[in-house]
Chains A and B, each alone.
Chain A
Amino acid sequence: GAVVSQHPSRVICKSGTSVKIECRSLDFQATTMFWYRQFPKQSLMLMATSNEGSKATYEQGVEKDKFLINHASLTLSTLTVTSAHPEDSSFYICSASRTGLRGQPQHFGDGTRLSIL
């Protein structure tokens, strides 16, 4: 169990386009979902933490108006990259946690590779 599906797996689009990425927990309810960004040959950098039904908490340096997060249900969170530019090109990964408590396992999706031309 504990499968997380992320869609789409790859996006290539023009500069200025807004891109929505979905993260779904398929077989469990996720109170908390996390969004990470990973640049080539680097580690995962936490962008924001979202809890179902409330506003996301963004990490320092992450623009909340640029990266819109919606966690409308216990099985779905979305990340929208608004007016994307080439510097936003990256590998975006979500994870989901049943409880969101510290140390509880996070189950990761397979990531979305975003390429902005």
Chain B
Amino acid sequence: TQLLEQSPQFLSIQEGENLTVYCNSSSVFSSLQWYRQEPGEGPVLLVTVVTGGEVKKLKRLTFQFGDARKDSSLHITAAQPGDTGLYLCAGVSRDMRFGAGTRLTVKP
């Protein structure tokens, strides 16, 4: 059973467009992490959000943790080809579980 649902599963956009990726669950998490994974490599941690309603920014990436700590979103402004990759959210409760991921392709 997948604890975390990510949407969309696949996303292909043109360079310069904005996008939002969602991570939803019925469970409450003590924290939630976002990773990006490129083909043939391990995931790289982008951010950890801890507090309900928290918003963190990392250059063109904005991460938000839901007020109830059950969901999160990742917004990318003016996407670039270098943003291409698999974006994974991971919720931390009793342990840490990954969502299925959103595979983003940004075309030049």
- Given contacts A102-B30, A103-B48, A111 and B94 within 8 Å (CB-CB): no
> Using a CB-CB cutoff of 8 Å, which residues 40-97 of chain B contact chain A?
40-45, 48, 50, 88, 92-97
Count of chain A residues near B, Cβ 8 A: 22
Q: How far in angstroms is the closest Cβ of chain A from B14? A: 23
**Nearest B-chain residue to A95, judged by Cβ:** B42
Count of chain B residues near A, Cβ 8 A: 24
CA distance A27 to B88 in the complex (A): 25
Choose among A103, A108, A111, A113 the residue that contacts B31 (Cβ–Cβ < 8 A).
Answer: A103
The answer to whether A108 touches B98 (Cβ under 8 A) is no
The answer to whether B42 touches A108 (Cβ under 8 A) is yes
Q: Is B100 an interface residue (CB 8 A)?
A: yes
Q: For the complex, would chain A's binding face be called helix, strand, loop or mixed by DSSP majority? A: loop
Q: Is A4 an interface residue (CB 8 A)?
A: yes
| Interface residues, chain A, with chain B CB atoms under 8 Å away | 4, 6, 9, 41-46, 49, 93, 95, 102-103, 105-111, 113
| Interface residues, chain B, with chain A CB atoms under 8 Å away | 30-31, 33, 35, 40-45, 48, 50, 88, 92-101, 103
